[in-house]
Amino acid sequence: MDAAIAQLVDISGSDAAMQAKADMMLERACWASQVFQRYDRERTYAIAEATARAAFDKAGEYGEWAVRETGFGVAKHKKLKNELSSVPFVEFYKDWDFVNPRMDDTSGLVKIPRPAGVVFALVPSTNPIATVYFKILCALMTRNAVVLCPHPAARECCIDAVATLSQAAEAAGAPEAVIQVVAEPNIPLINEFMRSEKTDVILATGGTAMVRAAYSSSNPAIGVGPGNAPVFVDDTANIDAAAGHIADSKAFDNSVLCTNESVLITLDSVAGKLKKALSKAGAHICSEDEVTALRRYLFHERGFNVEAVGRDASWIAEQAGIKVSKMTKVLVTPIDMIGFGEDLSREKLCPVLGFYVATSVQQATMQARALLRFAGAGHSAAIHSENVQTILDYSAAVESYRVVVNAPCSQGAAGFDTNLAPTFTIGTGFFGRSSIGENIGPQHLVNWTRIAWHKDAVHPSEIGVLSHPGPLQKSPSDGVPGETRPKRNMATDGVADKDDLRERIRLIIAEELRAVLKD
């Protein structure tokens, strides 16, 4: 009996079983997306609002849970991130319309929104709940179904959060299964989701390897690249304000946001004053020996020491053998070069900040450019200056699609202390080998069908009022939802009935089991 059970366990993890698990969830998501796409804007927005309120109410609880489960970050900061990615996020898009057709009065073009359908969304361990909130609400505002896959290190809090938001959405009228979660994530199962023809788009937030896997899956993917933001403080900046912004940003949630400042670049004329201001703001300026100790602790032959991710500055200092105050927010490490040969100019998802002194504004700009080319191209950069021309020159030179001016980069590039679109998925564009350079939002989960008349034949005033088809009927005259999609290459090809689907999957597994037992 034990041997038979062991064989069955092996089969449950086989390629056929993994495909069956993915197919079952994705088939439900396909159905839900087809139903959801018949909803009007009022009903759609009401669902998003209700879900956002449920998310906001649990922001603090899930912030504490995420820190407890992962060991990353600061609970009160995660609470704030969770709150910002719930009600305020939906309010930011309240005047956007992702549901109704649009007409351009000048050209006469009519645009009809076409939701992606089924979104497969990867969730990182560093910002788990905020990313769950963000991706679910992006999907709801655009009438898409979403299947979320949490990082194993944040699995429990993510599963509970998805359940909370799913219940709130369905109670507000969303179709059943419009929000689902992969409860037992593993690499083979994730690969099945990513390469399935039932997945319409992958929304990838996570490590470089996972994002590259999403892009190579053969399905459309919206991915991100690593951050490594330079921040330049010139001699016209308000030094005290700049130091305060940088220290607060670098300490925010212990630097797990990829938008945090990685290396501070300044000029010799203000370097001393800036160090003093940073010390007043809660930073510890490391000695040469302390810099060596930190470099040795944070980096090894396999790369960055993941034990330091999201840890307090005082904890990291203790591990490196450095004595600092328990109140220390940031460890500042003076460095003499940027790029290969200086590991401290790499991305550091912890409150350790490189400090480089340039000889001129031009050299500072070129060093910031070099930093991003070394790592973090396309992601984020920051500058503190009162010289508009310097700001423009710097922004045009660095290979970044976000430049934050006189504000904390962690929050600013993510759209929470600036007027950029709020996001937890940063597009790195062509510089970062990504498909999109903007802050990712619900607008990226919709494409538009454009209806174009002959330019001399139709005047815009002749186009009638455009109406929405309304909710799907229980017995649709236009066929079963999902059957208008291309047929899938699967053992259950053409199956629409869920009981039939389950029976076919059961037969697949039973047949494989018989084959193994014969051996």
Nearest to 369 by CA among 347, 378, 344: 378
pLDDT at residue 213, as a whole number = 76
Q: Is the pLDDT score of 3 beyond 70?
A: no
Q: Is the pLDDT score of 489 beyond 60?
A: no
Do 217 and 237 lie in one domain? The reply is no
Structural domain includes residue 174: yes
Q: Which residues pair with 449 in a beta bridge?
A: 112
Do 138 and 255 lie in one domain? The reply is no
| Domain interval for residue 151 | 2-223+440-449
Structural domain includes residue 75: yes
Do 182 and 315 lie in one domain? The reply is no
Residue pLDDT, tens place only, 175-201: 999 999 999 999 899 999 999 999 999
Q: Is the pLDDT score of 11 beyond 50?
A: no
Structural domain includes residue 503: no
Instruction: Read off the pLDDT of each residue in 227-247 and give the average, rounded to a whole number.
Output: 97
pLDDT at residue 13, as a whole number = 53
pLDDT at residue 7, as a whole number = 31
pLDDT at residue 107, as a whole number = 79
Locus of tokens 């655009």 = 142
Q: Is the pLDDT score of 320 beyond 50?
A: yes
Percent of the chain with pLDDT over 90: 73
Do 332 and 292 lie in one domain? The reply is yes
Instruction: Read off the pLDDT of each residue in 136-156 and give the average, rounded to a whole number.
Output: 97
Structural domain includes residue 292: yes
Percent of the chain with pLDDT over 70: 84
Do 304 and 218 lie in one domain? The reply is no
Instruction: Read off the pLDDT of each residue in 240-267 and give the average, rounded to a whole number.
Output: 97
Structural domain includes residue 375: yes
Q: What mean pLDDT, rounded, does the chain reach?
A: 87
Question: What's the CATH code of the domain at 208?
Answer: 3.40.605.10
Bridge pairing between strands 261-267 and 201-203 = unpaired
102, 175, 208, 252 from 132: Cα distances, Å:
30, 19, 19, 19
Residue pLDDT, tens place only, 391-422: 999 999 999 999 999 999 999 999 998 999 99
pLDDT at residue 105, as a whole number = 78
| Cβ neighbours around 201 below 10 Å, total | 21
Q: Which amino acid is at 331?
A: L
- Enumerate the H helices of 216-360 as residue ranges: 239-251, 268-280, 288-298, 313-319
Do 280 and 320 lie in one domain? The reply is yes
| Cβ neighbours around 15 below 10 Å, total | 11
Q: Give 478 or 183, the one with higher predicted confidence.
A: 183
Instruction: Read off the pLDDT of each residue in 52-64 and give the average, rounded to a whole number.
Output: 98
For residue 317 the two structure tokens come to: 């200092």
Do 77 and 147 lie in one domain? The reply is yes
Residue 516: pLDDT band by 50, 70, 90 thresholds? very low
pLDDT at residue 215, as a whole number = 73
Q: What span, in angstroms and rounded, lies between the C-alpha atoms of 161 and 59?
A: 10
Q: Please tell me which of 210-219, 237-246, 465-474 the model is most confident about, judged by mean pLDDT.
A: 237-246
Nearest to 255 by CA among 354, 349, 355: 349
Do 145 and 209 lie in one domain? The reply is yes
> What DSSP line would sit under 205-223, residue for residue?
-S-HHHHHHHHTSSS-EE-
Do 157 and 257 lie in one domain? The reply is no
Residue pLDDT, tens place only, 75-122: 999 999 999 999 999 999 999 999 999 888 777 788 999 999 999 999
Question: What letter would DSSP give residue 426?
Answer: B
Structural domain includes residue 165: yes
Instruction: Read off the pLDDT of each residue in 35-54 and give the average, rounded to a whole number.
Output: 96
HEC letters along 393-407: HHHHHCCECCEEECC
Q: Is the pLDDT score of 456 beyond 80?
A: no
Structural domain includes residue 58: yes
Q: Is the pLDDT score of 37 beyond 70?
A: yes
Helix (H) or strand (E) holding 500: helix 498-518
Q: What span, in angstroms and rounded, lies between the C-alpha atoms of 84 and 410?
A: 14
Dihedral-angle region of residue 342 (phi above 0 means left; psi in -120 to 50 means alpha; beta otherwise):
beta
- Catalytically annotated residues: 258
Instruction: Read off the pLDDT of each residue in 317-343 and give the average, rounded to a whole number.
Output: 96
Question: What's the CATH code of the domain at 265?
Answer: 3.40.309.10
pLDDT at residue 10, as a whole number = 37
Q: Give 3 or 249, the one with higher predicted confidence.
A: 249
Do 241 and 310 lie in one domain? The reply is yes
- φ/ψ of 247, rounded to 5, equals -65, -45
Angle, vertex CA 456, rays to CA 451 and CA 459, nearest 5: 65
Number of structural domains the chain divides into: 2
Interacting residues of 95 by C-beta distance below 8 A, sequence separation 6+: none
Structural domain includes residue 353: yes
Q: Is the pLDDT score of 517 beyond 80?
A: no
Do 162 and 264 lie in one domain? The reply is no
Do 263 and 395 lie in one domain? The reply is yes
